[in-house]
Amino acid sequence: MELLPLLTALLLAHAMAYLAWHALARRRRQRCYLLDYACHKPSDDRKVTTEMAGAVIERNKRLGLPDYRFLLKVIVNSGIGEHTYSPRNVLDGREECATHYDALDEMDAFFDDAVRGVLAKTGVSPRDVDLVVLNVGSFSPAPSLAARLVSRFGMREDVMAYNLSGMGCSAGLVSVDLARRVMLTRPRTMALVVTSESCAPNWYNGTDKSMMLGNCLFRCGGAAALLTNDPAFRSRAKMELRCLVRAHIGAYDDAHAAAVHREDADGRLGVSLSKDLPKAAVRAFSQNLQRLAPRILPAAELARFTLRLLAGKLMRRKLKFEGPKINFKTGVDHFCLHPGGTAVIDAVRKNLGLTAYDVEPATMTLHRWGNTSASSLWYVLSYMEAKRRLKAGDRVLMVTFGSGFKCNSCYWEVSKDLDDAGAWEDCIDDYPPETMVNPYTEKFGWVNDLQGGGGILPF
């Protein structure tokens, strides 16, 4: 009988040690480190200037003067500079007859640059990769692009490969979330997240204005990132993921139809952006922020916001406050925003009460690279790093929007001072430029003076 208390104490100690070990192991699995990333820089012979874009427009004989005016107006006022990249088939004058191999060649060039680049930077062998998550929205061949990547780099037979398509510009963070969730069940996992868009087969050749904008805004690009939950890589990681929030409002018909890949009245395929898109973006953004704010903002700011909200209700909204309702800058040091267009950047800036300095990375990314869809965020992050803005302990918020309609966000903590210029290396000293005015504004300025033809859609 005297041994019973001792045995009980030993069993309790053993149980508590097991629970503590299990909790620690689970916490380690929940860790998600960004080891490194690489942004794709296409070859210089694929650069497209405003003048070249105007020449491509002129080749479409279906366009009337109002259509021509509309497209030139969008290009000149898009915020896109003279050094973005286009698919080869468009530069070769074959935008109306792109082949399957044009799309594959575009992807292979991206793989050989960005994927090979991030593996070389980290010293990670392709056979060390346990998980591949690839997203390319509007090109889904068979075998899949994820399978093509596995084959091209000779990865292991047990590698887990996921191929996402149709997810739009927010797919980059969807891929990060999928990798994170898989890593919750598998310790010491090395995940390769690959994100891009296929422009070669998706040039729109019709006259529907809601479908013309994609030709003006979207450009070639892509990024590859290595994520891991292996604590052995913690000291080498650039950032650690603190939280990720996804909002999907596709249950609303207008939101679901805000950005759709469809045929026009003449049977020509393209992406249609509806006039309901701004409203859908605001609604999705609001839904995301409501769940994000309690997870990243200090208690003092949340309390201030709550008191302000209660005061407004008690005073029956007679109180007028200036500035944003809640100050996200109390919990965020850097805002990595999706450069979907000048209107998108400006809307987020106003809603969050940000300064021109805060949105400079997104604005400069749009100018240098255009809208590269889901990979755009990585170019924005790379700009911050090239400008040596990111210091150990800083907090970075990524926000992106995409068809569905979705708004996704994630919150990173910088692990060490970062200064890798990456794809910006040869041009970072030129940014920001002295002027953002398109150099061809004077040449094409006449399009703003003509009567008729309609204005730019409000997005």
Options 169, 199, 216, 220, the catalytic residue: 169
Q: Please measure the distance between the N-terminal and C-terminal CA atoms of the chain and give it in whole angstroms.
A: 79
Our answer to whether residue 338 is catalytic in this structure is: yes
Q: Per-residue b/e over 255-269, b at no fewer than 16 CB within 10 Å?
A: bbbbbebeebeeebb
DSSP E strand boundaries for 249-402: 259-263, 269-273, 334-337, 395-402
Options 338, 408, 410, 438, the catalytic residue: 338
Nearest to 50, CA basis, from 440, 358, 431, 386: 440
Our answer to whether residue 261 is catalytic in this structure is: no
Options 215, 248, 288, 407, the catalytic residue: 248
Options 163, 202, 371, 408, the catalytic residue: 371
Nearest to 190, CA basis, from 28, 35, 415: 35
Element (H, E) at 26: helix 3-30
Report phi then psi at 189, rounded to 5.
-105, 135
Options 334, 336, 408, 438, the catalytic residue: 334
For the CA atoms of 409, 414, 420, 424, what is the dihedral angle to 10 degrees? 30
Options 32, 135, 199, 367, the catalytic residue: 367
DSSP 87-136: -HHHHTT-TTS--HHHHHHHHHHHIIIIIHHHHHHHT--GGG--EEEEEE
Our answer to whether residue 89 is catalytic in this structure is: no
| DSSP-based three-state secondary structure for 307 | helix
**CA-based radius of gyration for the chain:** 24
Residue corresponding to tokens 């998980």? 131
CB 270 within 8 A of CB 214: yes
d(CA 294, CA 301): 10
Q: In what order do the strands lie in the sheet with 395-402?
A: 160-164, 131-136, 190-196, 222-228, 33-39, 239-248, 406-414, 395-402, 334-337
Q: Which amino acid is at 413?
A: E
User: Would you call 449 exposed, middle or buried from its count of C-beta atoms within 10 A (0-12, 13-18, 19+)?
Assistant: exposed
Our answer to whether residue 367 is catalytic in this structure is: yes
Cβ contacts of 270 within 8 Å, gap of 6 or more: 202, 204, 206, 208, 211, 212, 214, 261, 262, 263, 264
Neighbours of 236 (CB within 10 A): 14
Element (H, E) at 39: strand 33-39
Active-site residue list: 169, 248, 334, 338, 367, 371
